[in-house]
Amino acid sequence: MSLSSILTQVLMGLTVGANLILLATGLTLVFGMMEIINFAHSALFMLGAYVGYVTYRITGSFWLGLLVAPLAMGILGAALERYFLRPIRTKYPTSHLLPLLLTFGLTLFFEGLAKMIWSADIVSLPKPAALAGVVTPGGVTFPIYWVFAFVTAAALVAGLWLLVERTALGLKIRAATQDPTMAAILGVDVRRLNTFVFGLGSALAAVAGVILGAMTSLYPQMGLAFVIDAFIVIVIGGLGSFKGAIVGSLVLGQVQSFGVALLPEFTNPLVFLVMAIVLIVRPSGIFGAVQRRS
């Protein structure tokens, strides 16, 4: 492999990884705080992309779509937590199965709804004209839009990092992901925090939906493939860990990028091999708590 091809694959891995972080953060924080595997994440990602698409069709502005989609999905996500998940979790506090089934049902509902509104036809969100063209650093051809995709995701992740690691709110979130009961006893309003985190995760998924939607295409089942990758990421990184989601995403991005270049036939098994090795060495993931509460 030449130096320029190595550089290309690194850049591509970073772009994919950065957008995976946006998806994985919502999943991992929700799991940490509520112990819910949130299947509805793929539907919120998909709806976010469609909201961006509709906004673009009405106003002609990609940028407005990028702004409206996370707002709309943040509100929808928070409402889903408040009016669907919270009642079920209050009524059946020990059940992990019911919230899981609920989020799964919501996914099917939203996919069906998207099919009714926008049909199963494949549509496309055009990227803004300002971001057309390529840059060629060091002999590498790289589309400007992909640079934008990386920079946007990286900036959001940096902001999130500050929020989670450096603010009082972030301290509460970290406390609640480690032990919600103890955090509640110490005066943290965990229920409101749950709603906030669910909304935040949904908004991030919507940003990823718009950015990735313009790279690929939109159809009602588009979320599945991306969210499966996000699940792999949080298993590698450690369920419930924000740091884990970042490291896991970057690792997966590079494994996929170099896997395709070096071992094309073996790329998919390679991803799962990495996951298996991590789980053998560290059963709870790279940054997972060694033994979670039972």
Partner 1 sequence: MNRRRFLKTTAAATAAGLVPGFVRELGAATPIRVGLMLPFSKVMASLGDSTASGVMFGYKELGAEIEGRPVQIIREDDAADPSLGLSKVRKLVEKDNVDVVIGTVSSGVAAAIRNYMHESKRLWLNPIATNDALAEKECSKYHFRFSASAGQISAPLGAWGKAKLGDRAYVIASNYVYGQQTSAHFKKTFTAAGGQIVGEAYPPLGTNNFAPYFQPLRDSKATMAFVNFVGSDAVAFVKQYAEFGLKSVKPIGPVNLVSEDVLPAQGDAAVGFYSISYYTPSYDIPRNRWYAKAYREFSQGKEPDHFNSAGFDVMQALYGALKSTKGDASNKDKLIQWIETAKLDSPRGPLRFDPKNHNPILDQHIRIVEANPVRSTVVDVLKDVTHPEGGCTL
CA distance 50 to 96: 30
Whichever of 180 and 253 has its CB closer to partner 1, that residue is 253
Least CB distance from residue 123 to partner 1, whole Å? 5
Whichever of 61 and 124 has its CB closer to partner 1, that residue is 124
Candidates 42-50, 136-144, 156-164, 167-175: pick the segment binding partner 1 (CB under 8 A).
136-144
Whichever of 60 and 159 has its CB closer to partner 1, that residue is 60
Q: Count other C-beta atoms under 10 Å from residue 211's C-beta.
A: 28
- Whole-Å CA distances, 42 to 24, 27, 119, 187, 293: 11, 10, 18, 33, 27
Restricting to residues 9-48, name those near partner 1 by CB under 8 A. 9, 12-13, 15-16
Judged by CB under 8 A, does residue 208 bind partner 1? no
Restricting to residues 94-113, name those near partner 1 by CB under 8 A. none
Q: Are 84 and 55 in contact (CB under 8 A)?
A: no
Whichever of 141 and 167 has its CB closer to partner 1, that residue is 141
- Whole-Å CA distances, 33 to 23, 135, 141, 226, 291: 17, 42, 42, 22, 16
Judged by CB under 8 A, does residue 79 bind partner 1? no
Judged by CB under 8 A, does residue 169 bind partner 1? no
Candidates 156-164, 189-197, 208-216, 272-280: pick the segment binding partner 1 (CB under 8 A).
208-216
Least CB distance from residue 49 to partner 1, whole Å? 12
Least CB distance from residue 257 to partner 1, whole Å? 5
Judged by CB under 8 A, does residue 118 bind partner 1? no
Nearest to 201 by CA among 51, 82, 73: 73
Judged by CB under 8 A, does residue 235 bind partner 1? no
List the one residue from 37, 79, 98, 123 that touches partner 1 (CB under 8 A). Answer: 123
Supply 30's token pair. Answer: 């929700």
Judged by CB under 8 A, does residue 5 bind partner 1? yes
Judged by CB under 8 A, does residue 241 bind partner 1? no
Candidates 8-16, 91-99, 162-170, 277-285: pick the segment binding partner 1 (CB under 8 A).
8-16
Whichever of 178 and 216 has its CB closer to partner 1, that residue is 216
The DSSP bridge partners found for residue 135 are 142
Q: Which residues form the interface with partner 1 (CB under 8 A)?
A: 2, 5, 8-9, 12-13, 15-16, 120-124, 126, 134, 141-143, 145-146, 212, 215-219, 222, 225-226, 256-261, 264-265, 268
